[in-house]
A and B are shown apart, each in its own frame.
Chain A
Amino acid sequence: EDQVTQSPEALRLQEGESSSLNCSYTVSGLRGLFWYRQDPGKGPEFLFTLYSAGEEKEKERLKATLTKKESFLHITAPKPEDSATYLCAVRVGSNFGNEKLTFGTGTRLTIIP
Chain B
Amino acid sequence: DSGVTQTPKHLITATGQRVTLRCSPRSGDLSVYWYQQSLDQGLQFLIQYYNGEERAKGNILERFSAQQFPDLHSELNLSSLELGDSALYFCASSVGQRANYGYTFGSGTRLTVV
Contact = CB atoms under 8 A, between A and B. Distances in A.
A43 B42 contact: no
Contact of A34 (B2, B48, B56, B102): B102
> Chain A interface: which size bin?
20 to 34
Interface stretch (A18-26, A65-73, A94-102): A94-102
A42 B92 CA distance: 12
B108 A103 contact: no
B64 interface: no
Interface string A75-113: 000000000000101010101111111111110000000
Contacts of A42: 107-108
Interface residues of B, number: 28
Contact of B56 (A49, A87, A99): A99
Nearest to A32: B100
Most A CB atoms within 10 A — which of B104, B105, B106? B105
A29 interface: no
Nearest to B98: A99
Most B CB atoms within 10 A — which of A91, A103, A106? A103
A32 B44 CA distance: 18
A8 interface: no
A61 to B, nearest CB: 19
Interface of A: 32, 34, 36, 41-46, 49, 87, 89, 91, 93, 95-106
Q: Which 8 A-B pairs have the closest CB atoms?
A: A43-B105, A46-B102, A105-B42, A100-B45, A103-B43, A97-B55, A98-B56, A44-B105
